[in-house]
């Protein structure tokens, strides 16, 4: 059985590679972390008392009068989680709910009230509170939070005051917010007050202390989100996903994103602000994910051969397109003779997932950064590159006779198993970079016979159902590979060989799939026997 330290190391290895590069960029552009106020927050939460499940978190929320939720402004998951907590608490029905937000100045309460009464629309609200000018983060998740509050709460209040940029005055902002929350308490004496405020304000001696001075008898609960030190420590727990931890009687921390996801989101905003244009540059984010996974797999990016290493991976890095280059990407896909239906399917995938890797042109298209999908697509690229991406891009005319012969001999079952292995590798890589990704709904061990039966049924079905079946099988296998890696049964060198397998050879993908299933089943059976003993 793996030790806590080993589990923590295996879950964190690839993320830490990626995080180092992001933090260097952030430090170069943002020196605020050296400020005493922020150091106090970073030093306040280094350990926790116990692990909490979802029910225990809800129980803690139900006993609170005021819930202070830490907001990492650049991370949409932080605002969306706050919205979900408000909705769940309101649906309990025992007490009304009120929301207070740092994002809106108290001076603009009249504007917020007009929107609440539906006298003005979303666009006018956004403009009049100067959201983009004075705040500058994503509007969509914040607007979703406001709409959730309008649907489920008694009222929404702005809590902040000027100046936001001067950290020498930040204590005054805490005291101002505490006074405003006390006023809300007077207006809504029976309500549970939810407050979404920047996480650094929630150190014990910051806003919580100011609020306790204003409201000494209130039960105040601080709910932090994704604190680095607590996240890395929780990575050593046996559970696949830790929902949250109890820091002390008055403080919880929930996990809905990784540190890498947090800081990549912030880096994208820093880049956008520095260039003062319409959108962020996603290329450094994608390249960092690819590079981190390559380091994890001990891949030499400068290897001149394609045996135990991909040949000159450094020369295969993909193009990265953002939302503003939609037309350019469409022209590229058209030049590569990709049919209109194929182009639209790719763009529809981007719309659904936020991003997609397009192997036909070795390009990423990113409209919205979502770590779970970006990590999976970065893995898909690396898998393609390990298998000899240049041949796939140069077209069949430049392939040798052996490659042409292989292509002629391939069958529908070969294509199906190739897709299964591709999905398995992609899912595994996404878990390495994003360990909190949900496991497949069916994560029971697969047998070779069950896989064969599913394959035979799938290749007789329509194309979309065949692809769906390949993805389901692949994700299950990828999840089992990840479990074996966490248990210390699979080393990065063995995983690298899986990435390098030449699946274009007839029958090989089927053999690879069978070998992987046999391996993970033997590990699973060994684990079961050990547990029984």
Are residues 181 and 159 in contact, defined by beta-carbon separation less than 8 angstroms?
yes
Residue 482 lies in a domain: no
Residue 244 lies in a domain: yes
pLDDT-derived band at 396 (thresholds 50, 70, 90) equals very low
Higher pLDDT, 166 or 217: 217
Question: Quick one: tokens of 525?
Answer: 């059976």
pLDDT at 329: 67
Element (H or E) spanning 393, and its range? Answer: helix 389-394
Residue 201 lies in a domain: yes
Please say if the pLDDT value at position 530 is more than 60. Answer: no
Tokens 């950290």 sit on residue: 167
Number of domain units in the chain:
1
Each residue of 276-315: pLDDT tens digit?
Answer: 655 677 888 898 999 999 999 999 887 877 778 888 888 7
Residue 126 lies in a domain: yes
Residue 122 lies in a domain: yes
Cα gap 317→327, rounded to integer Å: 21
Please say if the pLDDT value at position 450 is more than 80. Answer: yes
Element (H or E) spanning 523, and its range? Answer: helix 508-532
Each residue of 105-147: pLDDT tens digit?
Answer: 998 999 999 999 999 999 999 988 989 888 989 999 999 999 9
Q: If DSSP codes are grouped into helix, strand and coil, which group holds residue 68?
A: strand
pLDDT at 196: 98
Are residues 226 and 259 in contact, defined by beta-carbon separation less than 8 angstroms?
yes
Residue 410 lies in a domain: no
Each residue of 368-390: pLDDT tens digit?
Answer: 888 999 999 999 999 999 988 74
Residue 464 lies in a domain: no
CA-based nearest residue to 77, from 66, 69, 68: 69
183 Ramachandran zone, left/alpha/beta (phi>0; psi -120 to 50):
alpha
Residue 301 lies in a domain: no
Structural domain containing residue 81: 32-257
pTM confidence score: 0.75
Edge-to-edge strand ranges of the sheet holding 66-71? 50-52, 244-248, 251-254, 220-225, 66-71, 192-198, 97-105, 155-160
Cα gap 405→401, rounded to integer Å: 6
Residue 163, preceding peptide bond in cis (omega within 30° of 0): yes
Residue 126 sits in a domain whose CATH number is 3.40.50.11550
pLDDT at 533: 44
């Amino acid at each position: 059985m793996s030790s806590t330290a080993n589990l923590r190391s295996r879950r964190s290895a690839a993320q830490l590679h990626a995080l180092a590069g992001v933090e260097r960029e952030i430090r170069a552009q943002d020196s605020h972390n050296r400020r005493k106020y922020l150091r106090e927050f970073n030093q306040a939460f280094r350990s926790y008392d116990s692990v909490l499940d979802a029910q225990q978190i809800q129980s803690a929320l139900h006993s609170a009068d005021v819930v202070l939720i830490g907001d990492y402004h650049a991370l949409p998951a932080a605002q969306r989680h706050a919205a979900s907590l408000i909705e769940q608490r309101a649906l309990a029905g025992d007490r009304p709910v009120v929301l207070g937000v740092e994002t809106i100045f108290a001076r603009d309460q009249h504007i917020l009230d007009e929107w609440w009464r539906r006298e003005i629309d979303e666009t006018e609200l956004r403009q009049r509170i100067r959201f983009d000018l004075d705040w500058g983060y994503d509007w969509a998740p914040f607007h979703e939070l406001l709409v959730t509050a309008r649907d489920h709460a008694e009222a929404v209040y702005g809590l902040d005051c000027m100046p936001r940029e001067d950290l020498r005055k930040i204590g005054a902002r805490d005291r101002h917010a505490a006074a405003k929350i006390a006023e809300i308490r007077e207006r809504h004496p029976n309500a549970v007050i939810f407050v979404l405020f920047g996480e650094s304000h929630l150190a014990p001696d910051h806003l919580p202390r100011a609020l306790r001075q204003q409201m000494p008898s209130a039960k105040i609960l601080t709910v932090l989100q994704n604190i680095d030190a607590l996240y890395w420590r929780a990575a050593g727990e046996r559970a696949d996903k830790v929902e949250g931890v109890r820091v002390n009687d008055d403080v919880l921390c929930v996990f809905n994103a990784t540190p890498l996801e947090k800081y990549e989101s912030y880096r994208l905003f820093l880049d956008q602000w520095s260039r003062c244009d319409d959108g962020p540059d996603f290329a450094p984010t994608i390249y960092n994910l690819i590079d981190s996974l390559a380091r994890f797999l001990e891949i030499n990016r400068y290897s001149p051969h394609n045996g135990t290493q991909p040949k000159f991976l450094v020369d295969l890095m993909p193009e990265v397109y953002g939302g503003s280059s939609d037309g350019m990407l469409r022209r590229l896909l058209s030049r590569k003779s990709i049919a209109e239906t194929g182009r639209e399917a790719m763009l529809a995938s981007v719309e659904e997932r936020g991003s997609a890797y397009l192997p036909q042109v070795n390009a990423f298209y990113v409209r919205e950064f979502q770590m779970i999908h970006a990590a999976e697509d970065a893995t898909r690229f690396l898998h393609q590159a390990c298998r000899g991406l240049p041949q796939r891009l140069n077209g069949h005319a430049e392939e040798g006779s052996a490659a042409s012969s292989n292509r002629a001999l391939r069958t529908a079952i070969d294509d199906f198993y190739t897709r299964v292995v591709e999905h398995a590798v992609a899912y595994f890589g996404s878990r390495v970079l994003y360990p909190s990704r949900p496991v497949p709904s069916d994560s029971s061990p697969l047998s070779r016979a069950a896989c064969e039966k599913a394959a035979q049924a799938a290749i007789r079905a329509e194309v979309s159902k065949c692809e769906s079946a390949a993805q389901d099988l692949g994700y299950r296998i990828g999840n089992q590979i990840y479990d074996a890696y966490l248990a210390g049964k699979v080393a990065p060198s063995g995983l690298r060989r899986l990435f390098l397998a030449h699946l274009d050879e007839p029958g090989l993908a089927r053999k690879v799939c069978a070998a992987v299933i046999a391996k993970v089943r033997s590990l699973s059976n060994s684990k079961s026997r050990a547990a029984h003993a």
